[in-house]
Amino acid sequence: MIRRTDRALRPRIDGLETRLVPSARPVVALAVARVPLAGAGQGTYHVAHDNRAADQPATVELSGVGRARLLGRVTISGTLLMGGFLAPGTPDISGTITVADGRGTLGLRVGGPGGSATIPGSRFRLDATLEGGTGAYRNLRGAGVARLSFGLATTAGVTPIGGGFQLVVTPRRAGHGPA
């Protein structure tokens, strides 16, 4: 006859306090400052190859100058992808605009609808998200609205396309979209 002893599984909990690694340093969270996005600028845009396949987005290069709240005079550069065949719900205008001064740079991610429109002479309202930057601006965050207007084409010929642009960025009002 086999005799069974009571060996039921008896889980137990060990404290983790004694298992802390003494050489580990505490994690310090970086301070992130939320700032209101505000500024305006102008410059030139350029689409080098508008004879692309219909399902490919147009690459629009921006270069200009402007003024931004908290920064003063800035340079503006950026690349936007406009149009193309995209998954439903994907913004058909997307890209990054960099704003820079002598103290650092800010990266502004923009996106929104309307990218299949003709570029020269068009206006677009885009969501803008400040994703930090470099130098004095490395921990800044914010959200706003970018209004981008393209002037009529000033280059001759079918391709490339180019002309002037105007950009106005305003803070997002409380309760209107993601911050």
- pLDDT one-digit tens code per residue, 102-148: 999 999 999 999 887 888 889 999 999 988 789 988 888 888 999 99
- pLDDT one-digit tens code per residue, 59-114: 999 999 999 987 899 999 999 998 877 777 778 899 999 999 999 999 999 999 98
Report the candidate in 118, 140, 119 with the shortest Cα–Cα distance to residue 36: 140
Question: What is the DSSP secondary-structure string of 100-147?
Answer: EETTEEEEEEEEES-TTS-STT-EEEEEEEEEEESGGGTTEEEEEEEE
Q: Is the peptide bond before 178 cis (omega within 30 degrees of 0)?
A: no
